[in-house]
Structure 1
Amino acid sequence: MSSSKLSNILEALSIPQEFSRFDKLTDEQILAQLIRWKTDVCANLTSLRDLLAMQNGIKSLPVDEQADIAACIAAFDGPEPYIPPLVLTRILAHHLKPAFAANPHPRLNLQTGRKLHQPADTQDAYEGQVWKTRIGTGNVLGWCLRNIDAGTYESVWHLILPPVMTFLDDFEASYKLRGVQLVSDLLSRVPPELLKRTGVDGLLFTSLSGTFNHLRDPLTPDLIRAAVPTTLHLIDLASPPSPAPLPPTPAFSSDRTMTSSRANPATRYEHLSTLLGSCLIGTVFLYAYTDPEAILAATDMLPPVLTHIGIGATRWLKRLAILGINSTVNPCSSPASRSFPPPIRMTPI
């Protein structure tokens, strides 16, 4: 294949960085350029398809050219076939890693993908953020996460975690929401033992819990609806529910009961309690009471959380009942302010 022709097509398909602020653009000239680029995309994709057809498909190309093409097209986030691990590894190492190199995550060992016991002494993780100028980076990363075979995860763990955590811990709601979606993609394929062995299960739980502090933003309801099921999925992987004890037998009843599960039920209950008590009740319901959409999103997410906790949820029933009554009486009034009698005010003589 002509390298120059392929390079020209891929360059033409590269998404202009101005699209990152498309909704805020007022310059008519830039807007016109972006519209022209968008119009030309279909023609360029057709040219790429025809070029690949002449070469008997993408699999006949060298790995580096396969990776260049896949990384370019994945930015449009379309349906994909199975991709060889070598190609995915090259995309992660040569197309994604450089974009995040300037903003290393302070809680990750970048060489192994393991959680650091102490945060690294690095520069401001929010300074520069070159990766935000690479439009479509989140789509490429999500595409990789959905196509990595479970057996390949360990070899690319150090390439996956830094960009995922960078999205998840970003200060802007739109990137944080994309981060939650990326974590969901990751959890759908990652081996649970890899999460626990590297300490990333706890790191993800802490960061997912932090998304509930991102209140008073138009995307807050979307964050809540995305974060709750993703957090429940993480809890199920890291500390699955204990199965029912096996029927006792006269010979070794106690041994069978004790070895029926390796999961720690205390850890599971603690994480579920944090999700319900601290994240939803103690944060969203308490501090976002003036945002009806956020309260509605949190209310919609209560059933799956209560189902996961089971009988242990009874400790919060009184508080939930108060919240329900207060929201019915006056949805824009602080639930905390009406949980107790109003203070007596002393009028000076």
Structure 2
Amino acid sequence: MAETEGIPCLLMRGGTSKGAYFLASDLPAGPKERDALLLRIMGSPDPRQIDGLGGAHPLTSKVAVVSPSPDGDADVDYLFLQVGLDEAVVSSRQNCGNLLAGVGPFAVERGLVRAGEGNTEVRIRMLNTGSFATAAFPTPGGRPEYDGGLAIDGVPGTAAPVRLNFEGTAGSSTGALFPTGRVLDTVDGMAVTCVDNGMPSVLLRAADLGLAGDESPAELEADTALADRLAGLRKNAAALMGMGDVSTATVPKMVLLSPARNGGAVTTRSFLPVRVHTSIGVLGALTVAAGILADGSVGHGLAALPGPGEPCRIEHPTGHFDVEVGLAEGLDGVTVTRSAALRTARKIFDGRVFPRPRP
């Protein structure tokens, strides 16, 4: 691979995130070499990412690596990589359901999947956790259609819908929907619910931290005492969840819950883990929904739970996100029967990226 000739890359918005999409065959096969290259492509480490594709925020410093699936279980394999800003870190310890929205269209764009007549379904293996999702999106004339009428909060305008149906999200990173074996725990004197429906998270009541729960991301990020408190809680909750040392990991997420303000189920503020999400991730929303639906959890009593067949509306700093989650009691405890969401994606540019020279 001659870097001076550029590397094929498609920049896409997926949901409320933005990332660089690559074919695995266009990147080095070894993780160490691949990650070093991606740091140079994205412009890290540098909080501005001024010399690369990154947008100086965790939501815009993301990479999707896509390849044909080697077996019949999926059409394509998708590896999500979170690229650090001011640290030379590339993490594969979590999925990203927002970038997932662009994987199906990307697979059609690159010829990995043949488009259907009018609509295409792509079954995707999420390599970070081994779980699966099926993306359905319009393909009139055999090409992905990005224009459409679906609006999602956190993104200006409208675009074509991408329906995501998830399988195997419960416990996909930790081994159980409630990895501590309980729906309610006490960590550092604080009531929490540790839950993993695709995104390992620690849910806690904003009021227990002396917060209203509707503070802006900027207000929360400026609160250094809060950051220190959450860091300690996160470390100890992760130990209970069996996640080991998470000091350099992006999971578990810390999510503050408070009563809904605008007719939804609950208001959220999600930490990434230091910066505050301007909305909420797909798998994060599915995880919050599963957490508040469980009787006895930290958010069950304060949430306005949806009725049968209704979506669970998760409110966030820039609006809301409707997800579909079903829970059922089984012999092994609470299980997830359904996880689905609507997102949009848009192709921004398709071309070749030239990485920053090696130091």
If the TM-score is normalised by the length of the shorter chain, which range does it land in?
A: under 0.3
Select the structure that is richer in helix: 1
Select the structure that is richer in strand: 2
Q: Which of 1 and 2 has greater Rg?
A: 1
**TM score, norm. by length of structure 1:** 0.27
**TM score, norm. by length of structure 2:** 0.27
Point out which structure has higher relative CO (alpha carbons under 8 A, 6+ apart).
2
